[in-house]
Structure 1
Amino acid sequence: MNLSTLTIHLILSGVLIVGAYQFYFWCQRNPLFEPRQLASPLDERIPYLPQWVWIYSLLYYPAILYVNVVLQSAEQFTRVAFSYLALLALQMTFFVLLPVRTPPHWRMANAAGSWSERFLALVQRYDAESNSFPSMHTSVAMLTALHLVPELGLTAFAFPALIGLSCLFTKQHYLVDIPAGAALGWFSYALYAHLLAG
């Protein structure tokens, strides 16, 4: 793929990411039901490690955009973009019909004022405690990893593993959110692969 095509794809990817998050925020503001909590004693035992916010936020988007580097054609870009939009539709279904929020006390932990805690507080200012299940960070990371496996092999799965851990250590998600998000990302990739085969 030449540089001009790659540049166009990166710009379109950025627009798609920003546009997709408008649907994410809409779901936070318009739940059909009262959001529930899924906390378990095991969730409370997971340590709060705010420094993982840098993985949670700063590794996430560059890895997604890196998918553009491995694409071979504009047609493949279209199909890959569709896989992310299909995943978004599935996530929105859960967020609207089964809204889940994290406990308020998880968000009161970042009061000490380290750089990591300040950055996490900034992230949380825009991202409410709802839209917890399944973890969209993990589902998108899993879908991204599956798109990168042909280029990176099994090392691609380090991305969803790190993102899943960051979701837990920043107290942004419950433990159950992580495998559910991974499964949803896998399902979206299976749909993509089916369309690619057809």
Structure 2
Amino acid sequence: MTARSIAPIGEWRFDKAVAKRAMLCLLLLAPLFYITYGAANWIASQRSNVANITFAWEHGIPFIAWTIFPYWSINLFYGLSLFLNDTAADVDRLAKRYLTAQVIAVSCFILFPLTFIFQKPPTSGASGFLFDLLGGFDKPFNQAPSLHIALLVIIWTHWRRRLSGVILWVWHVWCTLIGLSVLTTYQHHFIDIPTGMLLGLFALWLFPADAPSPLATFRLTSNARARTIGFRYAMGSLAFLLLMLAGTGSSAASLFLLWPSLALAIVAASYFGSGADVFQKAADGTFSFASRWLLAPYRLGALANSYLWTRKLVPSVLICRGVHLGRLPRRWEQSSFATVIDLTSELAKPSDVGTDWQSFPTLDLLPVSRTDLEKASEAIEYARRKGPVLVCCALGFQRSAAAVGVWLLRHGYAKNAAEAIDLIEAKGRRIHLTEEMITLGEEGVHHG
């Protein structure tokens, strides 16, 4: 991913072409929203028995009439956000995020309708007027995932990248009020919030700001091993989904299983053909906001796996010429190196402590492509002139070992693949490397 500068609010300039594009999108999206949202409400109202998912503690949530103002304000920011863009392409991306959230949410409202059970107290004055206006089209259905929260996640992200200082903190506070208002206006039950957040994150992930959609380059891989791994992750995703469905009737908390189910489904897509792009890892070792949270359950598993396999091993070993091989460093280990060459796609750098971090995202358990091995090899050679270099992956067994092996061959530190492997193993590092992995640099799966 490549970072693109975004004009902050103070430097933003009106552009007629952007404004026309924004107005067109608003004229298309707004009617579509009210038509589909209202249709889902009507369909649910025709059913004789609509389910409800509520935690017992929610009965203690107070009704706070004035919070209808932040609740309604999202409608204003919905429209303004379309105009607050630098290019027409930015407008289109935001519109696609809106549309994604809307289509998925409305589909859930129709397929799995839920109802709100608390009674709103009488209201008057300005807040009463807004509640009456809201009641004109919003019925006690359309619950999980909360479309209000999904849009809030999208809009909050859109503005926070353009604000700074005190205004940014005001924005955070106001968005927090908007988020809480879905409870205090008696519009949603609690479970609608995390499911709405998950939907908003998915829309952000599907249409990232600085790269194409991770599914846009999907091509079904012909690599049998990649398909096998993808199938296993898909089965894991299905298992969490079935557990969620089985437990929904007895526990509202079971809906949280949707999070790891979605994360594993996305990882499965990476192995089936989308490649490392799904992780949205930048060259500096950081992740996009959406990827960091959307795939968090998978990353926790990957971190646990890394710890279990390497807990009794030294973090890294010196191979030669200042080049070290090992697992992804901990925060306190990172500063020991001038440069870290990172072959993982699934894990982020632990912290920013001044170490030059260079990422070449690749998929675990698959041969690294020739292109990535050559790029990593050249990065190693260049970086070692500036100080100690750590070449790492999740375990330090294969991907990083392959990069070091290619570097040894390309720069004359080993005569052949067998000698390169022997040199690495002689340093006491456990590796899973074959000669073919570093002599052929097999292409593996499609990487977008």
TM-score (ref. length: structure 1)? 0.85
Residue among 97, 101, 112 paired with 1:87:
101
Measure the CA separation in 2 of the matches of 1:102 and 1:118.
21
Measure the CA separation in 2 of the matches of 1:118 and 1:20.
22
Tell me the SS of whatever aligns to 1:127.
Answer: coil
Closer/same/farther in 2, CA of residues 196 and 72 from structure 1, 3 Å limit: farther
Residue 135 of structure 1 pairs with residue 131 of structure 2: no
Q: What does 1:23-34 align with in structure 2 at a 5 Å threshold?
A: 23-31=36-44, 34=49
Q: Which has the higher strand share?
A: 2
Check whether the contact 1:52–1:166 (CA below 8 A) recurs between aligned residues: yes
Q: Which residue of 1 aligns with 2:156?
A: 145
Q: Which residue of 2 aligns with 1:65?
A: 79
1:180 Cα deviation after fit: 1.3
Amino acid at match of 1:119: L
Structure 2: gaps spanning 5 or more residues: 1-12, 217-448
TM-score (ref. length: structure 2)? 0.40
1:183 Cα deviation after fit: 1.4
Deviations 1:58-95 (A, max 9, x none): x1122222323431211221122111111111101210
Q: Which residue of 1 aligns with 2:194?
A: 179
Amino acid at match of 1:135: S
Mean CA deviation greater in 66-75 or 131-140: 66-75
Residue among 18, 32, 42 paired with 1:19:
32
Measure the CA separation in 2 of the matches of 1:4 and 1:128.
38
Check whether the contact 1:79–1:196 (CA below 8 A) recurs between aligned residues: no
RMSD in angstroms over aligned alpha carbons? Answer: 2.4
1:138 Cα deviation after fit: 0.9
Deviations 1:5-30 (A, max 9, x none): 34323422432123222111111112
Q: Which residue of 2 aligns with 1:75?
A: 89
Larger Rg: 2
Check whether the contact 2:67–2:185 (CA below 8 A) recurs between aligned residues: yes
Measure the CA separation in 1 of the matches of 2:172 and 2:37.
24
Check whether the contact 2:149–2:179 (CA below 8 A) recurs between aligned residues: yes
Identity of aligned residues (%): 22
Deviations 1:29-63 (A, max 9, x none): 12496421122222110000111111111x11222
Amino acid at match of 1:182: M
Residue among 29, 50, 53 paired with 1:35:
50
Deviations 1:96-145 (A, max 9, x none): 11101101x423x12x5343134213311210110011111111011111
Q: Which residue of 2 aligns with 1:161?
A: 176
Check whether the contact 2:70–2:174 (CA below 8 A) recurs between aligned residues: no
Measure the CA separation in 2 of the matches of 1:56 and 1:18.
20
Deviations 1:164-192 (A, max 9, x none): 11111101111111121111101110001
Closer/same/farther in 2, CA of residues 76 and 101 from structure 1, 3 Å limit: same
Measure the CA separation in 1 of the matches of 2:213 and 2:158.
12
1:157 Cα deviation after fit: 4.4
The count of aligned residue pairs is 194
1:196 Cα deviation after fit: 5.0
Check whether the contact 2:67–2:177 (CA below 8 A) recurs between aligned residues: no
Measure the CA separation in 2 of the matches of 1:26 and 1:88.
13
Amino acid at match of 2:33: A
Measure the CA separation in 1 of the matches of 2:86 and 2:213.
13
Amino acid at match of 2:177: L
Structure 1: gaps spanning 5 or more residues: none
Closer/same/farther in 2, CA of residues 97 and 28 from structure 1, 3 Å limit: same
Closer/same/farther in 2, CA of residues 96 and 159 from structure 1, 3 Å limit: farther
Measure the CA separation in 2 of the matches of 1:115 and 1:70.
29
Check whether the contact 1:70–1:151 (CA below 8 A) recurs between aligned residues: no
Check whether the contact 2:18–2:91 (CA below 8 A) recurs between aligned residues: no
Closer/same/farther in 2, CA of residues 159 and 141 from structure 1, 3 Å limit: farther
1:151 Cα deviation after fit: 0.9
Check whether the contact 2:115–2:140 (CA below 8 A) recurs between aligned residues: yes
Mean CA deviation greater in 28-37 or 176-185: 28-37
Measure the CA separation in 2 of the matches of 1:168 and 1:117.
17
Amino acid at match of 2:23: I
Tell me the SS of whatever aligns to 1:90.
Answer: helix
Check whether the contact 2:36–2:106 (CA below 8 A) recurs between aligned residues: yes
Amino acid at match of 2:65: P
Q: Which residue of 2 aligns with 1:102?
A: 116
Check whether the contact 1:141–1:159 (CA below 8 A) recurs between aligned residues: no
Which contiguous aligned blocks of 4+ residues in structure 1 show a shift greater than 6 angstroms? none
Check whether the contact 2:105–2:147 (CA below 8 A) recurs between aligned residues: yes
Q: Which residue of 2 aligns with 1:195?
A: 212
Measure the CA separation in 1 of the matches of 2:206 and 2:172.
19
